[in-house]
Structure 1
Amino acid sequence: MRELGLTTLFANPGSTEVPFLVDLPDDIDFVLALHEGSVVGMATGWALARERPALVQMHTTAGLGNAVGALATARVNRAPLVVLVGQQDRRHLAQEPFLAGRLEGLAGDYPVAVHRPVRAQDVPGAIVRAHHQAVHGSGPVLVVVCMDDWERPAGPDRSGDAPVRVARPAHVAADDPAAAEVAAFLDAATDPALVVGAGADGAPAWRALTTLAERLGTPVYQESFGARAGFPQDHPLFAGHLPAERSRLRRALRGHDAVLAVGAPVLRQYVYADGPLVDPGTRLAVISQDPEEVHRGPVELAVLAPVASFTAVVATLVRGRSRAGARAAAPVAASEESAPPEPGEPLRAAHVLRELARRITPDTVVVEETPSSRPQLHRLLPARAPLGFLSAAMGGLGFALPAATGVRMAAPKRPVVAVVGDGSALYQVQALWSAARYRAGVLFVVLSNGRYAVMDRLAENGGSGGGKPPWPAFPEVSLAALASGLGCPAVRVRTHAELCRVLEETVPGLAEREEPLVLDVTVAPDPAFQP
């Protein structure tokens, strides 16, 4: 609170706030009002006069309920307020003890945001994010804090998952102080790195990032589980996709003393693991035009600005340096995955992806939904043009078949290939009827292993040594038969020779193709999986 300048507290105290208020440090000014409406009203006037956020304390349901009208006024008056709302002790909150607040939605739509930290250690980061959001959204932001949280240790990282400072350039220009600060952040590093994401997928952003990377001579990593590509993945400075587990992420970024994320979160993870995101001494910054992405980044500097134009300015300001030492990804051609299967060996996903890679053109849109084979797809089918890769940002299944259909309808001159697992395809197989009905000439490549392979691998690798999954395989399911029943042409492929023949016949005409085609390719499950 001191670091944010939140040292004047407007409040009407209640029992759920006692652990916070007792022995309040002398440099925190406590301002008492006799009703919560007056509390918020005074804080509103203070914030507008000081032109910075005011700190407010509310007492659970009763206090917040009394203050709703004043919070509405604060929102319409565009007054930035950080509002701490007391809650009962979380250790018995499930039993709904006396004074437990049903706070969900109590203030309606008037708060800019509402934070409910799930652990005591998340409270400091929530307050930092609330401060940034109150400034950006020009209104009150609520942070619900359980009374016992104030007596818990904050942990080694007090800010948690929030930026130390957020810059919001009013306009993007060569003399912008935020651009100069980002350039200085990169210039001060001995071995900087860039991390790009879906927010940088577009021709202007690709051009700006390519210029920036080449001036710095620095590797460029793609965010893990990114929905779109933020950089040309056939560029010599592209260093591959970041892993989604902390220890592997630290190893991947080891040696970089500064990491700038552009159009990407910092840094997206999947399976939880203890420890920091990066090694001590590695500085983090982010540029994004997504306020939520900016406000939750655990960085020293976050810039909320248009990605392409702001990055282009930064690229003109950084000091040019040699490319020597840049760590790019190993050439895909050197991978053992490029070899065709031996006689009698089953097809695997990598065999199919390699044959696709040999034939598709750089402007092809690859729509992905094959969780167990995604690492191979990233290695073998790099995005070479904006919108060259598309996946589901949320991770739920059922995206690829309808999304590929829609992409082809919107961009009829671009070849579209959907690479889908059979388990994923079943969630929206009905989309094949629409593809056929509206003549969306998508090539749907279904990798059919007759099971939820990614779930099998997670079960085997998870827990204390893993275990046997309870769900059965489903080898009886035929995507080719389902597609035909929905009026969509389909071919069943079982061998490498059949695969090559069908791809030779189909891929060269994808740009002009009007009829969709499903290739139901029988593949053996991949033996290993790491997110």
Structure 2
Amino acid sequence: MTTVRDATFDVLRRLGLTTIFSNPGSTEVPLLAGLPDDLTFVLALHEGSVVAMAAGHALGAGRPALALLHSTPGLGNAVAAIATARLNRAPLVIVVGQQDRRHLALDPFLAGKLDGLAGRYPVSAEQPVRAQDVPGAIVRAYHEATTARGPALVVVPMDDWSAPAPEPHEIIGPAQLLRSQAADPAAVEALAAVLNEASRPAIVAGAGADGYAGWTALIALAERLNGPVFQEPFGAQAGFPQDHPQFAGHLPARRERLRETLKPHDAVLIVGTGAIRQYPYDPGPLVEPSTRLLLVTQDPEEAHRSPVELAVLGDPAALCAALAEAVDAREHTFTPRTPPPDPPPPDHGEPLRAAHVLQALADRLPRDAILLEETPSSRPELHARIPATAPLGFISAMGMLGFALPAAIGLRMARPDRPVLTVVGDGSSLYQIQALWSAVAYRTGVLFIVLRNGGYAIMDRLAERAGSAGPWPALDDVDIAAMAKAQGCEARRIETHEALVATLDAVLDDLAVRDTPLLLEIAVAQDATFDP
């Protein structure tokens, strides 16, 4: 008898979902036992790592990836990573196991109350009404994940897999879904009218503009307008080449500084993001009343919540390419950005600072490297010193801590053609340090750089601003390199500038072809001047 399981495997093959990231439990055994050889199973030791690895794979491959979670504990443990995957626009199909459908009414052991457990972070969630609807639900989840660029959930009771397969006509969902990316002439005309009236326009590039098409279109538009291009604050990906002469840096995340930065511009076109994420709260409007805000995004939520004069919901690349033809050309209205000077090496006995590490990386990184970042207290320094020079060159974990380390593993699996590294804080690394086991087990050549400052730097600065020290202790007695070695991952502790330079010189030359992970735990001083 052909089963729902068999029909689902056929759907997974057709959709290209042939790698299954999972930390399974008993409710997933009926699906996984005797897995066909053409499907690949990837084990992680925590569900946060499962989803983050799948998200990294999806971002690297440019199409949905598949994660399999175990009922309530699996989905519950994964919620933070699901939230981050949503913010990072990672398309995921997440199948969640459930107890046997035939006695769910009796609330058996391991039956999950799964409805709403992940909150509003999934772009869709469905438990099929009957077993035969499972393959179609996965088809629909795939398209939901692709269209909304986020995680889509399907809950499957464990006995559904052995049920008789549906008839082909019962698998409800399109066999192929094409997305038209044409630019509406009326939308282009409305945007162009505002930009042509402006004397000093600027562009804000967001994560939704990342990719070759988005970069090409935005470069053409920026060069036509000859104005500055800023990167959104808290951008999950780079929306514009950051070594382009018109790149003006990252916008500040405080309203007062944001208003001051954008004050010279009478029109600002925001592309591929909402307008404009801030942290922490400051009173007042985002921009001066004289600054007109325009927005182009594919994300309805971003469009609906943005306080702008005109929002256009559509493909950023197509709209910006058409807009580059429609706006008037003009002389340049920007001052080229001056990169920060190289920090002098620390004097003998002085500690390394994050600036030393990040500048050393910037001087040596290949142009096609993919850098995943999750180091909140060093993020401004990283943005200032390491430009994204190729599409998909920069990814920032824009949600809950613990995402970047496992996401880098999945991304490297999807993109073995490009060098992959992640720069994380010591606190961030501890949330999913067990993901290193998967990196070792699957011979994933990621370079993990942990900036160890021994404390909660952001929390310390916020507490100082509140007027009192926080009650949390330092973390300077945690040996992160030892935790890596305990999982079979090569690790080194670096404390001097000489060791830093020598190690990076040796490691970065062959990072693109490396097939085993390496963790560098680098001791750095806290930056007391950091202003979150």
TM exceeding 0.5: yes
Which residue, 331, 335, 342 being the options, matches 1:327? 335
Q: Alpha-carbon deviations, 1:449-505, whole Å to 9, x = none?
A: 1111111111112x3xx2111100011101100000011100010100011111111
Counterpart check, 1:451 vs 2:463:
no
Q: Could you tell me which residue of structure 1 aligns to residue 513 of structure 2?
A: 512
Instruction: Tell me if 1:276 matches 2:285.
Output: yes
In structure 2, what is the equivalent of residue 298 of structure 1?
307
Determine the C-alpha separation between the residues in 1 that align with 2:263 and 2:338. Answer: 17
**Offset of 1:530 from its aligned partner?**
2.2
Residue of structure 2 in register with 1:161 after alignment = none
The residue type equivalent to 2:349 in the other structure is G
> What residue is the counterpart of 1:94 in the other structure?
none
TM-score (norm 1): 0.66
Secondary structure at 2:507 match in 1 = helix
- SS class of match (1:338): coil
Q: Deviations over 1:48-103 (max 9, x none)?
A: xxxxxxxxxxxxxxxxxxxxxxxxxxxxxxxxxxxxxxxxxxxxxxxxxxxxxxxx
* Alignment pair present for 1:403 and 2:418: no
> Any conservation in 1 of the 2:427–2:456 contact (CA below 8 Å)?
yes
Query: Equivalent residue of 1:314, what SS?
Result: helix
3-state SS of 1:446 partner: strand
Partner residue, 2:62: none
Q: Distance in 1 between matches of 2:359 and 2:243?
A: 15
After TM superposition, give the deviation of residue 329 of structure 1 in Å.
Answer: 2.2
After TM superposition, list the pairs within 5 Å mapping 1:206-221 onto structure 2. Answer: 206-221=215-230
Query: Any stretches of 5+ residues in structure 2 without a counterpart?
Result: 1-114, 125-147, 149-178
Aligned residue for 1:183, secondary structure, equals helix
Distance 1:216 1:357 in 2: 29
Counterpart of 1:351 in structure 2 is: 356
8 Å Cα contact 1:363/1:384 also seen in 2: yes
Q: Is the 8 A contact 1:200 1:307 kept in 2?
A: yes
Q: Do the aligned residues in 2 keep the contact of 1:288 with 1:304 (CA within 8 Å)?
A: yes
Deviation at residue 339 of structure 1 after TM alignment: 2.1
Higher RCO (C-alpha 8 Å, min separation 6): 2
Alignment partner, residue 430 of structure 1: 434
Partner of 1:17: none
Identity %, equivalent residues: 57
Task: Letter of the 1:426 partner, please give it.
Answer: L
1:171–1:356 distance in 2 versus 1, CA, 3 Å: closer
**Alpha carbons of 1:295 and 1:388: their partners in 2 closer, same or farther (altered >3 Å)?**
same
* Alpha-carbon distance between aligned partners in 1 of 2:180 and 2:445, rounded to the nearest angstrom: 44
**Post-superposition shift, 1:328?**
3.4
RMSD: 2.1
Query: Residue 530 of structure 1 corresponds to which residue in structure 2?
Result: 531
- How many angstroms apart in 2 are the aligned matches of 1:186 and 1:341? 48
Correspondent of 2:376 among 348, 371, 376: 371
Deviation at 1:170, TM superposition (A): 8.6
1:205 is matched with which residue: 211, 214, 222?
A: 214
1:457-468 matched pairs, under 5 angstroms:
457-461=461-465, 463=466, 466-468=467-469
Change (3 A) 1:201 1:170: closer
1:292-317 Cα deviation digits (max 9, x unpaired):
00111101110001111111000111
- Counterparts of 1:301-320 in structure 2, within 5 Å, are 301-320=310-329
Give the structure with higher Rg (CA): 1
Runs of 4+ more than 4 Å apart: none
The question of whether the paired residues in 2 share the 8 Å contact of 1:439 and 1:516 is answered with yes
SS of the equivalent of 1:299 reads coil
Q: Give distance in 2, aligned partners of 1:341 and 1:415.
A: 29
Instruction: State whether residues 371 and 421 of structure 1, in contact with CA within 8 Å, keep that contact through their aligned partners in structure 2.
Output: yes
Q: Deviations over 1:404-430 (max 9, x none)?
A: 111111100111111011111000000
User: Secondary structure, in 3 states, of the residue corresponding to 1:252?
Assistant: helix
TM-score (ref. length: structure 2) = 0.66
8 Å contact kept, 1:240–1:328: no
Alpha-carbon offset, residue 171 of structure 1? 6.5
CA distance 1:289–1:446, shift in 2 (3 Å): same
Instruction: Report how far residue 268 of structure 1 moved.
Output: 1.0
Size of the aligned set, in residue pairs, is 360
d(CA) in 2 for partners of 1:223, 1:513: 33
Displacement after TM superposition at 1:280 (Å)? 1.4
1:142-177 CA-to-partner distances (Å, cap 9, x unmatched) read xxxxxxxxxxxxxxxxxxxxxxxxxxx99734x711
Report the AA paired with residue 518 of structure 1: L
